[in-house]
Chains A and B, each alone.
Chain A
Amino acid sequence: MTGVGILLRSHLRRDRWIILWWCLGGVLLYWSQAVSIEGLYATQAEFDQAAAAMDDNAAFIAMAGPARALDTVGGQVAWQATAFGAVVAGLMSMFLIGRHSRAEEESGRDELVRSAAIDRRAPVSAALIVALVANLLLGVLVTLSLLTVRSEDAVLKGLPLPVADSIGIGLGLTACGWVFSGVALVAAQLTQSTRAMYGLAGSVIGVAYGLRAVGDVGNEALSWLSPIGWYQAMHPYSGLRWWPALLMIAAACLTAAAAFAVFGRRDIGSGLLADRPGPAEAGSGLRSGLGLAWRLQRGSVYGWSAGLFLTGLSYGSIGDSVEDLVGDSEFAEAFGAGVTDSLVEGFYAVAIVQLALIACGFAISSTLRPRAEEDAGHSEVLLATGLSRRSWLAGHVLVTVAGTAALLTLGGLGLGIGYAATTGDSGAVLRYLGPVLPYLAPVLVLSAVARLLYGLWPRALVAAWLPLVLAVVVLIFGDVLQLPEWLQALSPFEHLALVPAEDFEVAPVVAVALLATLLSVGGQIAFRRRDIG
């Protein structure tokens, strides 16, 4: 096919870093499981105890997969990494294919390429090959990384990891990624815009994950409807079998063939599914800056809320078996040290800060949304109407603040409900929701820093993420790396009491909230004084 080679070379050159980062993420996911389990349990007895606790925890199984050979290192890696690994491979395939097929067509660049002397199917083929190569690389790197896990004085079962199973887990990941590549390629033919394509391919990945979750907990047949289920059915490290890989390769071929068949029947630039027509007139919600801000951001509020609730739920569902899971190894001592005697309370105090840090992801990106509006030229048209700068920005600020509050509340509820469901202690719902709420203040400090930047130096906005990086580093490595006191104090999260491990204190919360308000108001005033665009 003329042109595939040229396109492929140019794609791979453009994508080499992106692909490398994705692979690095995937490798870390697998490799870190193997390494961390080794460090987590001092004796096989401890490990057995933890494995028993996980074995019959439905929430864990729904999240990760069928519990097999959890008392071996390999079994743990397969259990904890494969479902998420498959999602990583799926998302990588989706983005790579979207980027080189639908996005190119949407931007019209594709037409330029096509006007050169290349085969009609060359761009689609090149996009597919990029995804196939990337998944192969991912699988090979995962295998290689697992093969490096050696231990001189292995106390835990299953070390070193068997070579055949390590190859199986890597190539299974590749094959699963190939299925999602085929799916993404079909989605790119059906839809008309990149956004819609990501929506369609993303929901297939989501449904694949959900089907196997339900299947693994209940009716096993459902897991067989999901490519992720097929991957896990290879049973790496617990009686490896190869034939599910063939199933995945067959599915990948089928979906790719289907994509090419659809491609042959459609016009360039269009999809098989046209965009559904929308309302010809605006609803009553769309009449103010706030109404528009909500309309633009509600999808992300819903998504993050669901994510935070589920994260809270999964933390909570560990219940009071924290001790079993963590054991009383050195790690556990470090984890609870200086916080409290009760491991459970220490664990949840830190879990709550982690929830808050996740909420920062929403808070900061939501704060940056006005900049995206400005860059796209939307704010220019809006601010040329009766909408003042003050109310335009205030609308977005309100969505950010209320959205963050909703996120934290749902995260706390998830935590409490998960805990209550596991332990039967219904009072836990409020006990765990309460301590989450004060974290609205430090989360909003990070958001307000972003807003101040937006008002003063909109071109330096990437810097808005630095405080979050700092807060994460301080929380996770602050004591380990013995970071200086003043550096740790820069993170607003460090000033709040670690409830429930410590007693609640009002003063720091008020002070931090005041800081957030000042910074935010400063940013809004600065915005009113600068050029737009």
Chain B
Amino acid sequence: MTTETAAPVIQVEGLVKKFGSLRALDGLDLEVAPGEVHGFLGPNGSGKSTTIRVLLGLLRKDAGTVRMLDGDPWRDAARLHRRLAYVPGDVSLWPNLTGGEAIDLLGRLRGGLDNRRRQELLERFELDPTKRGRSYSKGNRQKVALVAALASDVELLLLDEPTSGLDPLMEGVFTEYVDTFRDRGGTVLLSSHILAEVEKLCERVSIIRAGRIVESGTLADLRHLTRTSIDAELAGPPDGLARLAGVHDLDVQGNRVRFDVETDVLDEAIGALHRIGLRTLVSQPPTLEELFLRHYGDVVADVPAEAEHP
């Protein structure tokens, strides 16, 4: 599906990570191209954080190959880390260090902060850097890590549910900064449960389930795999629709018809309706939500066959 020619920033093939008998990652493939914001989605416990921890060299892989920024995340950890910033979903701060001290410490250990941007981020996020770590709220702890990451001069951001606990206003600020970061040529791997955020920021997404990638592609590609729902009133009884491949959940009541149709036969289905004569037509565009729910839920069988092995 990828069209980029530049070497990927993150390239993972057949990654396996076991915790005792549990295969948290079970042959995971993931590719993130330079300059893209890559959404990383999946239900709780599917292995997103584990993947990111392997990428950070915090966990040792059991099998597979992992390359990041042209290095081995395990062997070259410290060298690679100077070129990236990481924000976990649940930031815990040192109780007796102030937020400002934590920001500076993390920034310095990464090889320096942009002081002007640090100041600007503090203002935009409305964060008081003189408070002690123990007295920050959940959202404010998150902001400390975000400021430290976004004020660093790095090429890659690894963000693991970075906005958990942020209010919508602050989430907006975050989105804005990630946008600018990308415009400057940066690459982002963003794990998130907030679909609106993913839809706004990401060009491409990978969906992980039980330690494997079940879907990967651009948002347009993914939309293509979903179904549009149609609700129409016709001039006569709708015959022959059921024979069309790609039409599901057909519900006919007199001249009224409701069904879901796969995107590639949408044209054909509308054509059929048109031939009978359309009175009213309501069509629901496929939502990401629908797609995710299908992958998140237990009924994998419902997923179109060609999408299961991208």
Contacts and interface: CB of A to CB of B under 8 A. Distances in A.
B225 interface: no
A376 B130 contact: no
Interface string A380-423: 11111111110100000000000000000000000000000000
A387 to B, nearest CB: 5
Interface in B74-95: 77-79, 81-82, 84-86, 88, 90-95
A282 B81 contact: no
B129 interface: yes
Contacts of A377: 88, 90-92
Contacts of A389: 77-78
Contacts of B77: 383, 388-389
B110 A278 contact: no
Contacts of B69: none
Contacts of A384: 56, 58, 81, 84-86, 158
Contacts of A380: 53, 56, 58, 88
A376 B88 CA distance: 13
Contact of A386 (B56, B111, B129): B111
Interface residues of A, number: 37
Interface stretch (B97-105, B193-201, B266-274): B97-105
Interface in B107-145: 108-111, 128-132, 134-135, 145
Nearest to B54: A531
B109 to A, nearest CB: 4
Contacts of B82: 385-386
A384 B91 CA distance: 13
A532 B59 contact: yes
A277 interface: yes
Nearest to B106: A385
A295 interface: yes
B104 A529 contact: no
Query: Main SS of chain A's interface residues?
Result: loop
B275 interface: no
A286 B101 contact: yes
B132 A275 contact: yes
A315 B13 CA distance: 65
A153 interface: no
A192 interface: yes
A385 B112 CA distance: 11
A239 interface: no
B279 interface: no
Contacts of A280: 98, 100, 129-130
A13 interface: no
Contact of B101 (A282, A288, A385, A387): A282
B79 to A, nearest CB: 8
A281 to B, nearest CB: 5
B60 interface: yes
Interface in B129-179: 129-132, 134-135, 145, 158
Contacts of A388: 77-78
Contacts of B97: 278, 286, 295
Contacts of B129: 280-281
Contacts of B59: 531-533
Nearest to A531: B59
A380 B55 CA distance: 12
Contacts of B57: 383
Contacts of A283: 101
Given A193-B134, A296-B94, A387-B109, A533 B58 contact: yes
B55 to A, nearest CB: 10
A280 B84 CA distance: 24
A282 B109 contact: no
Contact of A286 (B95, B105, B111, B132): B105
B102 to A, nearest CB: 8
A150 interface: no
A295 B133 CA distance: 14
Task: Count chain B CB atoms within 10 A of each CB in A281, A376, A384 and give the residue with the most.
Answer: A384
B135 A192 contact: yes
A286 B78 CA distance: 18
B89 to A, nearest CB: 10
A447 B128 CA distance: 39
Contact of A279 (B88, B92, B100, B110): B100
B109 A385 contact: yes
Contact of B108 (A282, A378, A383): A282
Contact of A195 (B95, B100, B111, B158): B95
Given A282-B108, A381-B91, A531-B60, A387 B130 contact: no
Contact of A381 (B88, B111, B135): B88
Interface string A522-533: 000000011111
A533 B64 CA distance: 21
Contact of B98 (A192, A193, A279): A279
Given A193-B135, A383-B56, A387-B109, A278 B130 contact: yes
Contact of A533 (B53, B135, B145): B53
A531 B145 CA distance: 22
A282 B130 contact: no
22 contacts: A195-B95, A195-B134, A277-B98, A278-B97, A278-B98, A278-B100, A281-B129, A282-B101, A286-B104, A286-B108, A377-B88, A380-B53, A381-B91, A383-B56, A383-B57, A383-B81, A384-B56, A384-B81, A385-B81, A386-B109, A532-B53, A533-B59
Given A277-B130, A278-B100, A386-B111, 9 more contacts: A278-B98, A282-B104, A377-B92, A383-B58, A384-B81, A384-B84, A385-B82, A387-B78, A389-B78
* Nearest 8 Cβ contacts at the A-B interface: A282-B104, A277-B130, A388-B78, A384-B86, A278-B98, A385-B109, A280-B100, A386-B82
